[in-house]
Amino acid sequence: MANLSSIATAVASKPLPAFSPQNDLPVLANGRVHHALMSPSVQVRILALIDETGSTTLGEVVAHFPDHSDPVGAVLVMAGLCLLRLDHAEKLLDANTRVRRYPVNGFPPETMMLSPPEKKQEIEPVKEPAHPEPLKLPASLRRLEARSFRPTVVIGSGDDRRDFAKMQELRRPGIYGLMNSSSLYIGFGIDAGNRVASGQQPIQDIETIFVITDAENILTADDAEVAERILWSRAAAARERLMVNGLPSGVAVDLQRFSDIDAFVAEACLTLRHEDVLFTRGSPRTVLAGPRSEPGRTAPPRLFDDLPDGEVMELVFNEGRVALAARSSDDDWVLLKGSEVRPEVVQSANSSASFLRAAWLHSGILVPSPDGISYLLTKDMRFRSAGATAHFVTGSKGRGRGGWQPIDPDGGFDPETAALIAS
């Protein structure tokens, strides 16, 4: 359930980080940087220096602060809070190192920077290896990269949607949800924060908005579109609210990337559950796992040797691969389990062909065949047209209604047919 009071409680219960001169961690609060090297006037003078021409250099900063013990340190403190950015910070710092606001016309993300330890991830300019030890590995060992994405979930009320554009960590590819008491809109944006703040409002009386971005900002726009389709499916399957928009299209994606993005979305869903926002029904495990497939996609269960409803059609393609589908009507096709699916997808194919391969391999609906040259469908899956079914199976366009030939399910001109249907 959407419960704003619970959100407020969660925020209020978080202890404010204590900032003291002894504490080396800089803190941004009420628009002001608190740190031993900073004072309000130093902060304002540095920013003014940058704003004169859009950038300045460390040399100019030093020249303008003859009375300051460590003006460069002050700049680094602000850079550490993502208020400033140093060009080519990976090189040696010198008087020519250029300093700008972060990222371009960035505005301090205001109240959102209250947890400096989290922000450490984004500190590019300050090169201080936090964990020097773990970097060294014995030659005999190899470190495996864990999955790549880590969600940041930010939530607010519909009335405050403009504020989402003020957070730099939301000004990047991400996904979002707009909720009122009965409906939910799932969307994605290349600039998620801005999209929420100034985009069209597709539903009435929005009470709650949440935005999910990647903490390391390595989620690309394409990844975000994949995440959008995954989140939509999860929310639709949860049946807690009416989905305003239809199934997003997603983009082409491979299995490993899909799995990484699914894990990213799963973690965000679990977070929303903990805050009592969405995904509150069922067990946490169910929330993490998500649905096996998109709602309405799985056909009704069929017993081992039951024949499917409708006319059974056969598609032979690609050097003898065979797929079977039951056609109930022109817009209701069920691809039967056991059907072969070509692993490859042609370049001109629509995104769904590759997306569904990845999604169904991920959930076990599609498995490699024993001989390894095809995928096999393990469940009856529903499609909206003959062309879409063929498109998925062959991984290519061009096989419309005509590719499917009726067969006689009771008997067979092909002895393998019955086994294929029943398998």
Q: Which residues bind DNA (CB under 7 A)?
A: 159, 161-162, 187-190, 195, 199-201, 204, 245-251, 316-319, 346-352, 384-388, 391, 394-398, 400-402
Across the beta sheet with 242-243, the strand order is: 151-157, 208-214, 174-179, 183-189, 242-243
What is the nearest approach in angstroms of DNA to the Cβ of residue 292?
20
* Least Cβ distance, residue 95 to DNA (angstroms): 40
Of 109 and 248, which has the nearer Cβ to DNA? 248
Q: Across the strands, what pairs with 381? A: 298, 335
CB of 294 to DNA, least distance (A): 12
Q: How far is the CB of 214 from DNA (least distance, A)?
A: 18
Q: Is 339 helix (H, G, I), strand (E, B) or coil?
A: coil
User: Which of 96/201 has CB closer to DNA?
Assistant: 201
Instruction: Please give the C-alpha separations between residue 112 and each of 27, 148, 241, in angstroms, as whole numbers.
Output: 10, 24, 29
Give the three-class secondary structure for 234: helix
* Cβ at position 397, least distance to DNA in Å: 4
Nearer Cβ to DNA (283/348): 348
Distance in Å, CB of 202 to DNA, minimum: 7
Least distance in angstroms from the C-beta of 249 to DNA: 3
Look up residue 287 and give its amino acid.
V
Would you say 116 or 158 has its CB closer to DNA? 158
Q: Which amino acid is at 272?
A: L
* Cβ distance to DNA smaller for residue 174 or 250: 250
Rounded least distance, CB 315 to DNA, Å: 9
Task: Find the angle CA(169)-CA(171)-CA(175) to the nearest 5 degrees.
Answer: 90
Contact 349, 357 (CB under 8 A): no
Beta carbon nearer to DNA, 42 or 349: 349
Give dist(CA 304, CA 379) in Å, integer: 11
**Contact 98/55 with Cβ under 8 angstroms?**
yes
String of DSSP letters for 345-369: --TTS-HHHHHHHHHHHHHTSEEE-
Question: Going by C-beta distance under 8 Å and a sequence separation of 6 or more, which residues neighbour residue 46?
Answer: 61, 71, 74, 75, 78, 84
Positive/negative CA dihedral, 334, 339, 343, 348: negative
The two tokens of residue 394 are: 């062959």
Between residues 51 and 254, which has the closer beta carbon with respect to DNA? 254
Distance in Å, CB of 160 to DNA, minimum: 8
Cβ nearer to DNA, comparing 9 with 201: 201
Q: What is the sign, positive or negative, of the torsion defined by CA atoms of 60, 66, 71, 75?
A: negative
Nearby residues of 70 by Cβ (< 8 Å), 6 or more positions away: 37
Nearer to DNA, 71 or 189 (CB): 189
